[in-house]
Amino acid sequence: MAVWALGINHTTAPLDLRGRFAFAIDQIAPTLQALRLNLQGPLTRQPEAAILSTCNRTEIYCAGPDNGVEPTLEWLAHSGGVSPALLRSHAYALQGGMAARHAFRVASGLDSMVLGEAQILGQLKDAVRVADEAGALGTTLNQLFQRSFAVAKEVRSATEIGAHSISMAAAAVRLASQLFEDLGRIKVLFVGAGEMIELAATHFAARNPAHIAVANRTLERGEKLALRLGAEVMRLADLPGRLHEFDAVISSTASQLPIIGLGAVERAVKARKHRPMFMVDLAVPRDIEPEVKALEDVYLYTVDDLAHVVQAGQAQREAAVAQAEAIIDAGVQSFLHWMDQRGTVPLIRQLNAQADEWRALELARARKLLARGEDVDAVLEALSRGLTQKMLHGALAELHAGDAAARERASTAIEHFFLRKER
């Protein structure tokens, strides 16, 4: 089995390109089905596959009888509506041990914008669960991911890689604090009600803003978050008319198109008499049109804009990276050893089947002798001699072969397998 990984992330591709390859969680299963059908050869079964899609990365992991990096890249480029050449210039393609190492580093938070952040592990587990439910996982990828989870747990418990981690949500609060003297006097609007918004809302709520509102496409989920925060809930359709009421807007939805346009923000700024607005777009693809960034009195940040903030304190974590990489190295070697062993499984099965066949034949012969009243000791002696002769027949035949080279190879093998003193 070959293992490969293909992806783009915050270090290799700009935000708008990443947005073309962002898959919502409910899109993953049908997308996996399309990918596997595309990669299936005329004489081979569909490869195993999993897709990890977050605001910072989209990655495809596959395992199959033949390496399929190039077909995977061509399929992904087509799905995002770009040329393979463009995608290739921003993508990374990894095979075998390098693919395993990448998966382990991602799970451990070593490949994240925020070094050591823990959210990516949960996102990876969700991706594996969806792939498993879609029937896209097999033995190889399942082993890869389960080992990546174990390595991530060891890195988290044995090092201080995440001790000084600053989340995207905390970074947004820090930036807002630089714009507004007192966060306790501002009104904050959260657009969406997913995991990222819940995290951001929790951080902002801890600063006790004057008013919090949650706008979501489905009121039920919005109400659940609003109830926990003691916030107002509003419909997404009411957003354009009420945008001017809020000093800070944090948005993260699964929309494929922007939901806050330039015109709506221009009207809001005018209604606010040019009092500053703080806006954070945590969505990929974007929730807020990028042209908004050029407006005076509007301070718009995307996930990429937050990069320099979340890197604060990274030097304090660098000492733990070497220790984490050592743990990952051990995990990769263990996975590769398992992969090598998988290649001998058919031979082991054949050997066990042959031994069982010999044993059954000799047992059947011994039972017949006992039924005829033969002496028990003589039957046991015949049983042991028969088994020994069957097991040694192939080796002895090779030693008596006419080919000198064959006899030399047989001698070396026999000394190794039968004549070693240590057992």
Q: Which residues are catalytic?
A: 55
Coil, helix or strand at residue 283: coil
Q: What is the dihedral of CA 402, 406, 411, 417, to 10 degrees?
A: -130
Residues whose CB is less than 8 angstroms from the CB of residue 409 and which lie 6 or more positions away in sequence, other chains included? 398
Residue type for position 394: G
Phi and psi angles of residue 232, each rounded to the nearest 5 degrees, phi first: -85, 145
> What phi-psi label fits residue 23: left (phi over 0), alpha (psi between -120 and 50 degrees) or beta?
beta
DSSP state of 232: E
Residues whose CB is less than 8 angstroms from the CB of residue 156 and which lie 6 or more positions away in sequence, other chains included? 108, 118, 162
Q: In whole angstroms, give the CA distance from residue 55 to residue 303.
A: 7
What single string gives the DSSP state of each residue in 297-353? TEEEEETTTTHHHHTTTHHHHHHHHHHHHHHHHHHHHHHHHHHHHHTTHHHHHHHHH
